[in-house]
Structure 1
């Protein structure tokens, strides 16, 4: 088994530092936790990504931390199998002792007091109000929540600053006095224009009606679109049938598939071609001659190689991205465009530079020990101190994985929680900040109060007199704010790609930035969800606007919330051949606003015309 473990590590691109010692420990892990070598290496990849390890060498010093990671996975698996199992902590004992007398008394509803009215009139007070307010879904508690006990409210964890020195001086003071308890009303900067692009499903649409034909057509159209773009670039030959035996080199375009179940390996890679060129047949793909590649199931690639036997295509080159020169003109191929903000300012036409300031946060917006939504309150308090032109909130809002939601112990419907805890707070925020404030919300498949389907329609919200300030976007979706194109998708595609990707980098020996490589797959495939077959928990429905998953041109900003570590990265696409323009995109994973019983992170971004002129900060809450 030690040999199998070593082979699995090498197959995934990892080398062992102290080989004998590490293999002994890994063998013990497999025996104790009943793991296969492939499962062990998959767990190591998750641990490797979460710890943001730079080298692809497995160090003996990381084995203790890896053991804790395996133990946590085993514990989560047990809790998932036995959902009624509850692990008591000292906090539960304290709550029982403090609330013992209150449990005996019968709660008699009364009229609202002045205290309640005062609390509702100050929605952005960052202090914890767990007694007597209407935000709590549980019993009143005398205890301060773990979230309220934290000492540092806002800490800058990471910063990218490409602005000139004259602007840097202003930004140095950007995060000063974050602990100031006095919230002053400050007017936002100039109101931003907002135009939504795309053709996602409409609210109230019917789903779960997709057929095999819909899936086939969607995949076939992806291959055809990719082949047309590669051919129109003039850099490659016309695609041919790679299943025919031939000694000469051919160029083929198809989709990467895995033979059977499980992860990709050297012997299970297949290339599925289009119906036009080979009747949709599959051929085995041999990548042993390549020193560098990165593939995953569902990826559309162009392959140069020859097939001497008719059974295996031996690749000499793999093209995994569309040249920037081949991008279609949106004016010639217009997508359905809908302007949700009909009061676009006349100043929009006079913009000479694309400027936008935004706060970006991804759910969950409440900690796992309550439904007080304290992190959201803190975020809105921060936004009222430093008003952005656009506040972007990405789901889940009413998280179906929250312990109280999952167990069904709440006494309100999911829609009531959403409108009382989320929409009401946002209405209070925009009313408090004035007509220039703008909020954009994006749903998630984890939202208990929304359609469990992907692509996902926008929320049906009808805020009175505020419809131009609170906008709901489809998932995934693309919009333009002050002419800055922004794409966002709340499905954790980065984590899913990390589990399925197979890569090799033997060119220079230096490990590549894996998170940048995963995010680049989204841009190079021109798809928010290029993985196929989809992950088990993703309700992908090809009968619902499959074009909503694709984008024709690279956006300026790409927002991909993930459970993996937060980041802000500048991605480069193109420029590999002469005359090809290099495009840059800012990719952002804001992390989660709430993590367990504590706070998480969000992103503050000031964009001034390009990826080379921006200031981005990841702030811990």
Structure 2
């Protein structure tokens, strides 16, 4: 058979399929409109790139915020030692894969009730109240009562000062009652918050609140003095040098493409700074990236992750093996196998073997220092739902205070719709074990570094969104003269400088 007679394979695409269907008066899509839309998108991208080339971004390297300005940020004392710091996950917080969408209404209810039961005892003990004296808030009473429950909204939509109800423990009747807050000089409440309430319900219709009892903070972790001194001054540890940490949150590429210039630029800066630890939080490939939404990716997400994330990290870690790299996923990561929150860690098979993969959220130690990280936008979620009479300028910082006093890394309930697929059955990993030394909460809200309740709270911002920011920490050695007890608090808020920097 002549080569010219051999039938050529048909390449099926939008054009060929439409040509086949056209004689029958059918089309898979309106092809002309699709071409026009694609051309329009390309023009928009071209114009966008002309205006905002990444290399021409303004204020590169500008420091936007500094915490503890009196402390030095010193970059000249890095020693090439592999054993400079230890990183360990706190007990019960190394999460394995689990089956989600298997929680029944009864299981959800039991989790919520167990939390209220626990905090009823905590509040009563802290404020010297009688547990047996708690009353049903929906029952009419001529005398002042004390009760406990969860803040809820009485209808669909955003909660306001006229729609706040208290859902008490089932043992207290379980029937929600409207709260009247006019007698309070100030308050700050959000759905899911567990509080103690003192007030009057003379008619059995609403509870006139006279006092709100907040859950007290957990104690901060204490460590044996000898261990702290060894971490900070041991010759195979920090040897009297500061501990340096760089923190960044994704996305790591611009909306205009998938070149990952911000990630590469960050790694170049880390090579210069030479911190002890680099913490990278997802999303690494954002599910809402315009090119993904339009179906215009040249490679699969897995191939893009290997080429643009894994390979640059491997090259970086091969050149600087002394720097420990911690990777934490996001529920927006298209390359992560788990859609519910909390999330197990990334599969290490797709990353350099030396990478430290942690779940989301996570509580861990770098030497003696307790870090807590929640990589969903809990700050913004609570910020939008809070009802308060206090200074709005302080609301962003008060959100961190809510997380610490509720002892939970996502205390909002119900969770923000369309943003967080909360699995209550596995939410024990969201419970704080201690009040942490450092609380890291990436958010679309304005970046900050602030001491709240003796905790260093940091929103590093997003590396490839907004102002393209990340955070740098220098934790100076623990003062030896304070190691005069068997175990000591860490006083991290007094010896740490934090900078929020534009990439």
Of 459, 464, 475, 1:594 maps to 464
- Per the alignment, do residues 422 and 203 of structure 1 end up closer, same or farther by CA in structure 2, a change over 3 Å counting? farther
Counterpart of 1:523 (choices 400, 404, 419) is: 404
Q: 1:307 aligns with which of 198, 201, 205?
A: 201
Counterpart check, 1:154 vs 2:35: no
Equivalent position of 1:413 in the other structure: 300
- Alignment of 1:497 onto 2:382: yes
Q: CA deviation at 1:266?
A: 2.7
Paired with 1:494 and 1:85, the residues of 2 have a C-alpha distance of: 38
TM-score scaled by length of structure 1: 0.65
1:171-190 residue pairs with structure 2 within 5 A? 171=73, 187=80
CA 1:271–1:199 in 2, change beyond 3 Å: closer, same or farther?
Answer: same
Shift of the 614–363 alpha-carbon distance from structure 1 to 2, 3 Å rule, reads: same
Deviation readout 1:39-79 (Å, 9 max, x if unpaired): xxxxxxxxxxxxxxxxxxxxxxxxxxxxxxxxxxxxxxxxx
Q: Separation in 2 of the partners of 1:606 and 1:428?
A: 25
What are the within-5 Å matches in structure 2 for residues 253-268 of structure 1?
253-268=148-163
Decide whether the 8 Å contact of 2:232 with 2:239 is kept in 1: no
**Matched residue pairs, number?**
442
Aligned counterparts of 2:256 and 2:356: Cα–Cα separation in 1: 30
1:207 counterpart residue number: 100
Contact 1:593 1:600 in 2 (8 A): yes
**Superposed displacement of residue 84, structure 1:** 8.1
Q: Normalising to structure 2: TM-score of the pair?
A: 0.80
d(CA) in 1 for partners of 2:241 and 2:180?
46
Query: How much does 1:487 deviate?
Result: 0.5
Structure 2 CA distance for aligned equivalents of residues 224 and 328 of structure 1: 23
Q: 1 CA distance for matches of 2:79 and 2:457?
A: 29
1:612 aligns with 2:482: no
Aligned counterparts of 1:282 and 1:258: Cα–Cα separation in 2? 10
- Summarize the alignment of residues 241-390 of structure 1 with structure 2, pairs less than 5 Å apart: 241-278=136-173, 280-324=174-218, 356-390=243-277
Distance across 1 between alignment mates of 2:301 and 2:192: 35
**Structure 2 Cα separation of the partners of residues 246 and 85 of structure 1:** 70
Match of 1:102 in 2: none
Q: Determine which of 342, 355, 379 is the counterpart of 1:455.
A: 342
Q: Does 1:559 align with 2:440?
A: yes
Deviation at 1:298, TM superposition (A): 0.7
Contact persistence 1:455–1:544 (CA under 8 A): no
Q: Is the 8 A contact 2:370 2:437 kept in 1?
A: yes
**Could you say if the C-alpha distance between residues 528 and 323 of structure 1 is closer, same or farther in structure 2, counting changes exceeding 3 Å?**
closer
Q: Which blocks of at least 5 consecutive residues in structure 2 are unaligned? A: 1-36, 224-230, 477-490
CA distance in 2 between counterparts of 1:276 and 1:613 reads 46
**Maintained 8 Å contact 1:602/1:618:** yes
